[in-house]
A and B are shown apart, each in its own frame.
Chain A
Amino acid sequence: MEATINNENFYQYKGKHKGILGWLLTTDHKRIGIMYLAAMITFFVVAMFIGFFMRLELLTPGQTLMKPEVYNALFTLHGVIMIFLFIVPGLPAVFGNFFLPIMIGAKDVSFPRLNLLSWYLYMAGAILAVVSLFTGGGLPDTGWTFYVPYSIRSTSNVSTALFAAFILGFSSIVTGLNFIVTIHRLRCKGMTWFKMPLFVWGLYSTAWIQILATPVVGITLLLVIFERFFGIGVFDPALGGDPILFQHLFWIYSHPAVYIMILPAMGLVSEIIPTFAKKTIFGYGPIAMSSLAIAFVGYLVWGHHMFTSGISDTSRAIFSLLTFIVAIPSGIKIFNWIATLYKGSIEVRTPLIFVMVFIFVFSIGGLTGLVLGSLNTDIHVTDTYYVVAHFHYVMFGGMGTLFFGGLHYWFPKMFGKMFNEKVANFSVVLFMIGFNILYFPMFIMGYLGMPRRYYDFLPEFQIYHQISTIGSWVLVTAILIMIINLIVALKNGKKAGSDPWGGTTLEWTIPSPPPLENFDIEPEVTKGPYDRV
């Protein structure tokens, strides 16, 4: 029976349903991954252009393009779409879905129907977020953090946006649960815990955060909705509630969410480097364990978002200490990656260039995080552009770069086609240049006292804003070239073999694109994921 489906990849497979229904009703983890990919690239491009227009507004002082209420709505939308629809779910939903089962030698995830449900929850949340724009009292204008009491008082359509984020949370929980069970139950013969690819370790750590932390923000957002409609008085100080409580609950989720974003990205780096260095990973154990350490300590540092909120000085000191400690495992990973390059036989191909850009940009993001974990300096720079620069370096430079890096790495496997590498390499280099022109000036103006979420600015900050805006033009150009290059490859790309890069993990042992159930014969693993001897 296996022999008959051997030549057919999962795109060609004819199931119960044909055409579009074959996608919308599929339970194939690969098709679901592709559907996430299509949705996420769309949302990313929308939010990118929102950011582009925000930067354009800040080109000159006073009104350049739009009124302050529009600007306030745009930074809210940019944040909500990027965080809830792209950065947090991105890597697990797209590459986790497509590659997790393949990398552990399984036919699918443990609960394929639940997997489809999580896609529908994601789309429902996304549609609700769009609905919030066109209904009710106008565009939500609270920022993606929804801080009370402003989010209670605002007459704009905050409740719908909150509910959208709540639903998206469910999608995340369901995906996390599915992945944990899949990793525990469906590893193929010989795939012991320490023979799992490091991307799987990243997903595993992330999945635990998803199911443990997301419910906290879910209930918190729901309470804000109740507060808006019924005045229950949990957060509203006028009714005896506590606005600080909201900040605690919000960051108990939203700080670990940073690690939800970054751990799979770090896992991806650990895949790409051995492939192009033609070498086993240096320090498999420390890299895997540092993922768990980050996931665990990452729970205990939320208070560093609240160093100026009025929480006690003692708790500020404890949160600061823990924040410094969480920096260490990230450092360990970077050192091990560099060490993996040592005495390798390195082929500089597009995905490796992405990783090199990632290491440079993410290191800047991580290291500037030390200034924010440090108590006295954070008090000065918190809520300024310094923070804006920091989290764009970490999230966009980290997860964002690796999202596109992963897309280039696995593009031949997912679609069976190769892209034009010269164009891709050009776009990555341009990406890095634009990125730094856009975000680096923000560190400087932040330290000089430019607060964030400002529609306007004092004359002394104009030069930094202008450089930054010019950077945004370069960056957008680079991303568009990158995406168009891939779309062209979808149509005209050369056929990719099963292992175009010379990788060692299981996904490179099966045809590109993979057949419906991935493996004709259940694989058996006898050596480490990156072993070449």
Chain B
Amino acid sequence: MNSSIAQQTDATFIFITAVSVVLLLIVTITMIYFVIRYNKKRHPVAEQISGNTTIEVIWTLIPFVLVMIMFFMSYSGFKNLRNAPSDAMTITVTGKMWKWTFDYENGKQTDTLYVPLNKPIKMAIKSADVNHSFFIPHYRVKEDAIPGRTNYLWFNPIELGYWDIACAEYCGLQHAYMYSKVIVMPEAKFWDWYNTKTDTTAIVKDSLTTKVDSIQKK
């Protein structure tokens, strides 16, 4: 059900793009056709036509209807995208030049985002210095990290694996290297990890590769 959010975004994108391609083709082909058909050689005397109210109304209303459909489609996707389910697990992420730090509710702190499969995740997004933007392309979500305030986004990890987290708001010298990963783990494995006391970032980092491997094998 919640997996539909990224799909809904893609569906909106495909709909808008498809309508756009059709409009672009109509405009371009008509233009080229007229330029050839009414070329000076074929059509030596121009007919002076200064306008047509009916036609103006038609080509004002059709785009209006089209953009309204687009708006409502995107708005319904947006409502789902913004409203996290009440059982979502909240994880705080803080952007700081040039890394992400994740704080879990039990005090665990990591530089990679570990999440359990099939549990909606709500990210509380903060910044310790300048603006950043927390971006997970795979889930089609992004929200800025602005100092002095907490922004939110949520996503539902429905498949095992790991995906990139990028910084999408320019933040200085190492902006292009402010990458991290979200790692979706089987539920039992996640809770094992979550409840172990060894919660220093260094250890988590060392075990990153093995964890990823074990996810891949499963």
Contacts and interface: CB of A to CB of B under 8 A. Distances in A.
A313 B82 contact: yes
Contacts of B135: 383, 449, 451
B7 to A, nearest CB: 11
Contact of B148 (A243, A309, A375): A243
B82 to A, nearest CB: 5
Contact of B143 (A150, A308, A331, A356): A308
Interface in A456-471: 456-458
Of listed A147, A336, A532, residue having the most chain B CB within 10 A: A147
Contacts of B59: 331-332, 335
B141 A347 contact: no
A83 to B, nearest CB: 16
A310 B142 CA distance: 10
Given A370-B70, A371-B16, A283 B56 contact: yes
Given A237-B147, A339-B55, A280 B31 contact: no
Contact of B74 (A345, A367, A374): A374
B22 to A, nearest CB: 10
Contacts, number: 253
A332 B46 contact: no
Interface stretch (B85-93, B109-117, B169-177, B190-198): B169-177
Interface in A318-337: 320-321, 324-325, 327-328, 331-332, 334-336
Contacts of A342: 34, 38, 49
Interface string A115-150: 000000000000000000000000001110001111
Interface string B52-93: 100110011001100110110111011101100000000000
Interface string B142-183: 111011110100000000000010111111111111010000
A528 to B, nearest CB: 8
Given A370-B70, A457-B176, A380 B140 contact: yes
Interface string B15-45: 0110010011001101110110011100111
Interface in A240-257: 242-244
A376 B71 CA distance: 10
A453 interface: yes
Of listed A143, A316, A375, residue having the most chain B CB within 10 A: A375
B63 A359 contact: no
B149 A321 contact: no
Contacts of B146: 237, 243-244, 309-310
Contacts of A375: 74-75, 77-78, 81
B131 interface: yes
Contacts of A325: 64, 67
Of listed B17, B23, B130, residue having the most chain A CB within 10 A: B130
B166 A345 contact: no
B16 A374 contact: yes
Interface in A440-457: 447-449, 451-457
A184 B79 CA distance: 48
Contact of A279 (B49, B52, B144): B49
A356 B130 CA distance: 44
Given A320-B75, A375-B74, A456-B176, A384 B168 contact: yes
B204 to A, nearest CB: 22
B16 A72 contact: no
A281 interface: yes
A89 to B, nearest CB: 25
A479 B164 CA distance: 38
A149 B38 CA distance: 57
A447 B48 CA distance: 45
B166 A451 contact: yes
Given A141-B172, A280-B50, A371-B16, A338 B34 contact: yes
Interface residues of B, number: 78
Of listed A316, A356, A451, residue having the most chain B CB within 10 A: A451
Given A320-B74, A338-B27, A380-B9, A453 B175 contact: yes
Given A328-B67, A346-B34, A448 B137 contact: yes
B51 A371 contact: no
Contacts of B176: 68, 451, 453-457
B213 interface: no
B47 interface: yes
Nearest to A237: B148
A234 to B, nearest CB: 13
A516 to B, nearest CB: 35
Contacts of A46: none
A1 interface: no
A457 B137 CA distance: 14
Contact of A345 (B9, B13, B44, B149): B44
B40 A380 contact: no
A448 B167 CA distance: 14
Identify the 9 closest CB pairs spanning chains A and B, nearest first: A449-B137, A237-B148, A374-B74, A367-B20, A375-B78, A376-B77, A341-B34, A454-B176, A383-B168
Given A278-B46, A339-B55, 7 more contacts: A153-B130, A324-B67, A328-B64, A380-B13, A454-B176, A531-B48, A532-B48
Interface of A: 68-69, 72, 141-143, 147-150, 153-154, 237-238, 242-244, 277-286, 308-310, 313, 316-317, 320-321, 324-325, 327-328, 331-332, 334-336, 338-339, 341-348, 352, 356, 359-360, 363-364, 367-368, 370-371, 374-377, 379-380, 382-384, 447-449, 451-458, 528, 531-533
Interface of B: 8-9, 12-13, 16-17, 20, 23-24, 27-28, 30-32, 34-35, 38-40, 43-52, 55-56, 59-60, 63-64, 67-68, 70-71, 73-75, 77-79, 81-82, 129-131, 133, 135, 137-138, 140-144, 146-149, 151, 164, 166-177, 179
12 contacts: A68-B174, A72-B175, A309-B144, A320-B71, A338-B34, A341-B38, A345-B44, A352-B35, A360-B28, A376-B8, A452-B170, A453-B176
